[in-house]
């Protein structure tokens, strides 16, 4: 993938109107708002959204200034503009005063906040306005009102928008909140009033666990948003997450650009989003659009926003949940089904132009543009509780883009996915004439998507796309947990895959040998003439500590490009094979089939792609090598599942703990995770204390050996 491909927006997103809209204003009285022509903007964000905004701005002749921090100095968004400035430390994307100072110094007329960071910070929006800069987003007062979940629900109730029963007041006494939860009846949802992205959100299913869940929600909220105030409301057991994309201008116009179903989630964060929402009755669809428009008008909204609803599958009723006062991560889904460039709409509205389409015109476009689905490609390990991962992208191969297949990415091959920020690598968006066709296109595109380096969720999303209930549209926010057995099942690795990986190791060893003593990848130590048999050992890679069965492969070259291969008891005779060193593809002709396998090595981890499936293998180290390298036995240790910071230590040496008892609370990429005891035992040593930074696989707590 190249930088130019990252910056290419699908041709379906042709602007709906010229940048300087000449459409008649829809108000007939009062002085019209001041029209501003934006010629230079600063993008106060990073990654794919910075590239996405920059592309639309460039298409309309607007100069772009970008920002980056020390870890992002070689990132694609930092390199995308000749006007780029280093903010310094990791958290400096939150330094609003410095960002405004740079914007004014560079002669920028406006600031686009993207999503996350300062995008929903009302104080920052207000400072931009006071500094004479156009904040390409809603008025600061709308952000303030909608950012406070208690205040937003008061406004919605007054506007006739249905809300979930609950307590949204200021009393934060833990016992008072527990009494309110008792009145609501369990299960209840505890939610940070300043929250978003699933942070500061916990479910209490019984009174007995309420206080522990409350403490955890408050702690995460304070770390993420600087505010630990929460609300408590009824938790709907079979909910769907349906949100409506709204737009409003300075003239009192508001439109709903369709809805998105975002029910497929983990940790209350979205993985798949689609539009239109499946099996939503037309009357309900129109009603939820109308309620979303009412919500926008009630708060005096301008620009792009998303009104989020919780839909009860059991009753067919929907309730206001919150309003995101920014452009959403999943906005490309709406762009696909409306044919509109929503970033262009943002810029036009902020300049003072009216909305380019009426509600009727929007609905006409939605009716003929089919179905779209977005999959978020994350550096994370679904098999380890979706914990984030980080590291260098050693190999990236993407699906071919078209009018119906779009990729919004912030990284290219060779880039580093930082442990300091959100682990999303890219977004894959597809469109089909029907939902069934869109799912098929998504599955086919995912089979072409190869990422080696950090662990990703691509294989997990493939399973989702093949899940019968998902295909049938029977979705809800608890889908993943309810389909756990199906979605987390593992498939045995074919012998041919082990053969291909061994051939790749052999090819590279022979190429690198140069006649000198050389260590064979995954094989016995030492170099042997090419026609002698070599033995390779592999194990499946499942996490920081891999102790699964070892698979042995023996390879003997019998002629130029021909090999005899033994995988366990199975023998492949006269396999013709060669490797393309530029693409890492091993092409082999077995007696029964031809296989093309991409094989990438990352130290002792091997990532292979074959017939649309990714495999991760480990090269097991010999015990004598571990001792030579000074490696310690970690069999009795609880390891850090990802690069992290220790927030709290819940135990001390000598404590006797039960299975699933909290040991350590860690934070990575702004996500708080409780590390629990894998079994009953006695703590021998707490290796890391509060505030320590740890690498993935680092021991956190050691257990005493059983006598």
For residue 276, say if its preceding peptide bond is cis, omega within 30 degrees of 0: yes
DSSP 382: G
Tell me the C-alpha distance between 65 and 80, whole Å. 9
In sequence order, the β-bridge partners of residue 600 are 607
User: Rounded distance, CA 429 to CA 405, Å?
Assistant: 6
**Pairing of β 318-324 and β 269-275:** unpaired
The catalytic position among 266, 285, 326, 376 is 326
The order of strands in the sheet holding 110-112 is 84-88, 63-69, 40-43, 110-112, 134-135
CA–CA separation, 52 and 326 (whole Å): 14
Q: What's the Cα-to-Cα distance from 330 to each of 134, 315, 333, rounded to whole Å?
A: 24, 27, 6
Establish whether 8 is a catalytic residue.
Answer: no
Question: Both tokens of residue 486?
Answer: 């199906």
Contact present, 304 and 327 (Cβ < 8 Å)? yes
Which helix (H) or strand (E) segment holds residue 656: the answer is strand 656-657
Residue the block writes with tokens 């929250």: 195
SS3 assignment, position 332: helix
Tokens (6 digits) for 665: 């609370």
| Helix, strand, or coil (residue 552) | strand
Backbone φ and ψ of 101, nearest 5°: -60, -45
What helix, strand, coil percent values describe the chain, rounded to 5? 30, 30, 40
The structure tokens listed for 326 are 């920014």
Q: How far apart are CA 556 and CA 506, in angstroms?
A: 10
State whether the Cα torsion 441-446-447-450 is positive or negative: positive
Beta strands in 48-185 (DSSP E): 63-69, 84-88, 110-112, 134-135, 166-167
Assess contact for 271 and 264: CB atoms under 8 A: yes
Active site residues: 326
């Amino acid at each position: 993938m190249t930088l130019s491909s990252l910056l290419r927006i699908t041709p379906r997103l042709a602007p709906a109107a010229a940048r300087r809209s000449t459409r008649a204003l829809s108000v007939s009285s009062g002085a019209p708002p001041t029209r501003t022509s934006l010629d230079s903007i600063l993008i106060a964000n990073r990654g794919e959204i910075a590239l996405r905004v920059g592309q639309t701005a460039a298409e309309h002749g607007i100069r772009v200034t970008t920002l980056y921090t020390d870890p992002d100095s070689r990132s694609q968004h930092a390199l995308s503009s000749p006007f780029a400035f280093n903010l310094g430390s990791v958290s400096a994307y939150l330094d609003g005063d410095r960002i405004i100072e740079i914007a004014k110094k560079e002669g920028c007329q406006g600031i686009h906040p993207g999503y996350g960071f300062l995008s929903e910070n009302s104080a920052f929006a207000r400072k931009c306005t006071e500094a004479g800069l156009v904040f390409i987003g809603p008025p600061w007062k709308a952000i303030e009102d909608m950012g406070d979940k208690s205040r937003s629900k008061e406004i919605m109730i007054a506007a006739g928008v249905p809300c979930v029963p609950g307590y949204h007041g200021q009393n934060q006494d833990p016992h008072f909140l527990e009494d309110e939860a008792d009145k609501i009846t369990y299960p209840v949802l505890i939610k940070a009033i300043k929250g978003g992205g699933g942070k500061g959100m916990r479910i209490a299913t019984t009174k007995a666990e309420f206080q522990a869940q409350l403490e955890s929600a408050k702690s995460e909220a304070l770390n993420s948003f600087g505010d630990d105030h929460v609300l408590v409301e009824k938790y709907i057991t079979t909910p769907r997450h349906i949100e409506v994309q709204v737009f409003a201008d300075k003239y009192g116009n508001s439109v709903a650009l369709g809805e998105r179903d975002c029910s497929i989630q983990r940790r209350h964060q979205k993985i798949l989003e689609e539009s239109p929402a499946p099996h939503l009755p037309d009357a309900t669809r129109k009603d939820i659009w109308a309620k979303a428009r009412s919500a926008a008008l009630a708060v005096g909204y301008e620009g792009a926003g998303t009104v989020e609803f919780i839909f009860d599958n059991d009753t067919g009723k929907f309730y206001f949940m919150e309003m995101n006062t920014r452009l959403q991560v999943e906005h490309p889904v709406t762009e696909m089904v409306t044919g509109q460039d929503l970033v262009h709409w943002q810029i036009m509205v902020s300049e003072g132009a009216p909305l380019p389409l009426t509600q009727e015109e929007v609905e006409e476009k939605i009716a003929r543009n089919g179905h779209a689905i977005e999959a978020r490609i994350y550096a994370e390990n679904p098999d380890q509780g979706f914990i984030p991962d980080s590291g260098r992208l050693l190999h990236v191969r993407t699906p071919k883009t078209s009018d119906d297949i779009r990729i919004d990415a912030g990284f290219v091959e060779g880039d580093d996915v930082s442990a300091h920020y959100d682990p999303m690598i890219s977004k894959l968006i597809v469109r089909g004439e029907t939902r069934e066709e869109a799912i098929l296109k998504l599955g086919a595109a995912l089979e072409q998507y190869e990422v080696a380096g950090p662990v990703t969720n691509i294989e997990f999303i493939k399973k989702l796309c093949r899940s019968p209930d998902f295909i049938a549209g029977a979705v809800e926010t608890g889908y993943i947990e309810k389909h756990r057995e199906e979605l987390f099942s593992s498939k045995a690795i074919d012998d041919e895959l082990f053969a291909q990986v061994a051939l790749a190791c052999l090819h590279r060893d022979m190429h690198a040998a140069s006649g000198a003593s050389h260590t064979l990848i995954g094989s016995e130590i030492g170099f042997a003439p090419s026609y002698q048999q070599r033995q390779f050992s592999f194990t499946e890679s499942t996490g920081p500590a891999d102790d699964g069965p070892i698979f042995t492969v023996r390879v003997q070259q019998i002629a130029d490009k021909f090999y005899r291969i033994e995988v366990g008891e199975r023998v492949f005779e006269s396999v013709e094979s060669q490797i393309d060193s530029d693409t890492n593809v091993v092409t082999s002709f077995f007696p029964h089939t031809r296989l093309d396998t991409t094989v990438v090595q990352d130290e002792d981890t091997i990532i292979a792609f074959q017939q649309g499936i990714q495999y991760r293998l480990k090269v097991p180290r010999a015990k004598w090598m571990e001792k030579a390298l000074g490696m310690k036995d970690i069999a009795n240790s609880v390891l850090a599942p990802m690069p992290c910071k220790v927030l709290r230590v819940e135990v001390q040496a000598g404590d006797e703990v039960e299975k699933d008892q909290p040991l350590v609370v860690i934070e990575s990429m702004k996500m708080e995770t409780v590390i629990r005891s894998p079994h009953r035992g006695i703590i021998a040593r707490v290796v890391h204390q509060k505030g320590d930074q740890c690498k993935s696989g680092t021991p956190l707590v050691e257990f005493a050996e059983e006598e």
